[in-house]
Amino acid sequence: MVFKKLMASMGAGSASVETELHSAETMPGGVVEGRIRVRGGKVDQRIEGLFVGFQAVVEVETQDGEQRRNVEFGRHQVGGEFGLREGATHDLQFRLPVPWETPLTMFRGVQLRGTTIGVRTELAIDRAIDKGDLDPISVGAFPAQALILDAFGNLGFHFKAADLEQGHIRGVDQRLPFYQEIEFAPPQAYARGINEVELTFVSAEHATEVILEIDKKGGALSGGSDAIRRFTVDHGTAQQTDWNAYLHGWFQELGQRRGWF
């Protein structure tokens, strides 16, 4: 028995955790629901807690260049301490709130390549953490975000790529340690002066801060430029604005100042 306990403390024959999501589709401000099943190993053990949260793959600048790292956010404890007998199972239902700033992975059936989000389940056991399961999820736009994304499509822009960048945007009430950039290629009408447009949403419960950047040049998000536009979309009144006209007007104004048209 002493040998079994020693091996379990090293991870051999110890308890394991599985997560089953009721649905893998959600949106910022929504919830993810599911069931966690803890299976006992080859020895009785004490479970110190169960945790679920989200994990994203984020681009991080280092001295050696850019690296991709797993970053956890929105972590919640969903189960307290309990004893688990050898070979037994313990089930627990959970509801995990989706932070409003959670990046999008899908829009109108199109996968936003470059963004990966999953639900991470952790099992705290014998003063150690078993990382357990990672279940991919699909995060779609809520209505106010969809209006802005649809406007880009209506104006002829095409999705290029998306990524998550570590850091904070100056002057924005940002809670997560990273932000998403959704990149669009311009239509022919704007191609003379625009290589691409990067769109960032920083959302809260009642409003979304929208940051647009044209022809990104190093550090532009941290400083002022006429090629950056920030505006706030109120979730309750977003449908009252013609976003096609709003965006087209800004592109036209910027293009006239710079001699694109």
Tens of pLDDT, residue by residue over 2-15, are 323 333 343 434 78
Cα 259 to Cα 256: distance, rounded to the nearest angstrom: 5
CB 91 within 8 A of CB 82: no
Mean predicted lDDT score pLDDT of the chain = 87
Q: pTM score, two decimals?
A: 0.86
pLDDT of residue 261: 61
Report how far apart, in Å, the C-alpha atoms of 86 and of each of 38, 51, 67, 83, 133 are: 11, 22, 41, 10, 21
CB 23 within 8 A of CB 55: no
Phi, psi of 248 (to 5 degrees): -60, -40
State mean pLDDT over 17-25. Answer: 95
Least confident of 125-129, 160-164, 223-227: 223-227
Phi, psi of 4 (to 5 degrees): -60, -45
pLDDT of residue 31: 97
* Highest-pLDDT range among 107-116, 182-191, 196-205: 196-205
Q: What is the pLDDT of residues 151-194, one digit of tens each?
A: 999 999 999 999 999 999 999 999 999 999 999 999 998 888 88
Half-sphere exposure of 239 (CA within 13 A, CB side): 3
Cα 64 to Cα 229: distance, rounded to the nearest angstrom: 32
Is the CA virtual torsion 94, 201, 170, 162 positive or negative?
A: positive
Three-class SS state of 247: helix
Task: Say yes or no to pLDDT of 232 above 60.
Answer: yes
The residue ranking higher by pLDDT, 9 or 59, is 59
pLDDT band per the 50, 70, 90 thresholds, residue 129? low
Q: What percent of the chain has pLDDT over 70?
A: 88
Q: Report, at the CATH architecture level, how domain 2-139 is classified.
A: Sandwich (2.60)
Cα 241 to Cα 207: distance, rounded to the nearest angstrom: 14
E strands of the chain, at which residues? 16-21, 25-26, 31-39, 45-62, 65-79, 82-84, 89-97, 106-107, 110-111, 117-125, 128-130, 134-136, 138-139, 158-166, 178-185, 197-203, 207-214, 228-234
Task: State the Rg of the chain over Cα.
Answer: 23
* Extents of the domains making up the chain: 2-139, 143-258
pLDDT of residue 159: 95
